[in-house]
Chains A and B, each alone.
Chain A
Amino acid sequence: MNPLPTSPSPTTFAPAPGSAPLARMVLAQARMEARLMLRNGEQLLLALVIPVIVLVGGVVAAGRLGSTLGGAAAVDVLTPGVLALAVMSTAFTSVAIATGFERRYGVIKLLGASPLPRHGLLLGKALALLIVVALQLVVLVVVGLLLGWEPTLTHPVRTVLGLVLAVGLGTAAFAALGLFVAGVLRAEATLALANLVYLLLMAGGGIVLPTSTYGAAGGLVEWLPSGALGEAMRGALVDGQIDARSLLVLAAWAGLGTVLTARTFKWE
Chain B
Amino acid sequence: MPHASPAVEIDGLVMAYGDKVAVDGLSLDVARGSITAVLGPNGAGKTTTLETCEGYRAPQRGTVRVLGLDPQRDRTALLPRIGVMLQDGGAWSGVRAVEMLEHMAALHAHPLDTAMLVDRLGLGDCGRTPYRRLSGGQRQRLGLAVALVGRPELVFVDEPTAGMDPQARRTTWELLEEIRGDGVTVVLTTHHMEEAEHLADRIHIIDHGTAIASGTPAELTRGGRSATIRLVVNRPFPDGAPESLRAELGPLTEVRQLDEVSMLIHGPADATTLGRVSRWCEEHGVLPQTLNLGQRTLEDVFLELTGRELAP
Contact = CB atoms under 8 A, between A and B. Distances in A.
B and A form one assembly:
yes
21 contacts: A7-B110, A10-B112, A10-B113, A13-B182, A15-B183, A16-B151, A17-B152, A18-B110, A19-B107, A19-B109, A32-B103, A36-B92, A36-B94, A105-B93, A106-B88, A107-B90, A107-B91, A107-B92, A113-B54, A114-B79, A114-B107
B81 interface: yes
Interface residues of B, number: 41
Nearest to A25: B107
A120 to B, nearest CB: 9
Contacts of B94: 36, 39-40
Given A13-B179, A17-B153, A105-B92, A113 B56 contact: yes
Interface of A: 4, 7, 10-20, 24-25, 28-29, 32, 36, 39-40, 101-102, 105-107, 109-110, 112-117, 268
Contacts, number: 116
Given A20-B106, A20-B107, A115-B107, A109 B90 contact: yes
A110 B80 contact: no
B89 interface: yes
Contacts of A40: 94
B79 A19 contact: yes
Contact of B103 (A14, A28, A39, A117): A28
A239 to B, nearest CB: 41
B90 A15 contact: no
Contact of A110 (B76, B90, B108, B148): B90
B184 interface: yes
B76 A117 contact: yes
A11 B113 contact: yes
Given A15-B152, A17-B80, A107-B91, A112 B107 contact: no
A105 B182 contact: no
Contacts of A113: 54-56, 79, 82, 84
A92 to B, nearest CB: 20
B178 interface: yes
A16 B109 CA distance: 8
A4 B146 CA distance: 21
Contacts of B82: 17, 113
Interface of B is mostly: loop
B113 A116 contact: no
B85 to A, nearest CB: 9
A132 B100 CA distance: 20
Sorted nearest first, the 4 A-B pairs with minimum C-beta distance are A18-B109, A110-B90, A106-B89, A28-B106
Nearest to A107: B92
A102 B151 CA distance: 25
Contact of B178 (A10, A13, A19, A102): A13
Interface string B121-162: 000000000010000000000000010101111000000000
A36 B130 CA distance: 11
Contacts of B90: 105-107, 109-110
Given A32-B103, A105-B90, A17 B146 contact: no
B95 interface: yes
B106 A25 contact: yes
Q: Quick one: which of B54, B91, B109, B150 has the most chain A CB within 10 A?
A: B109
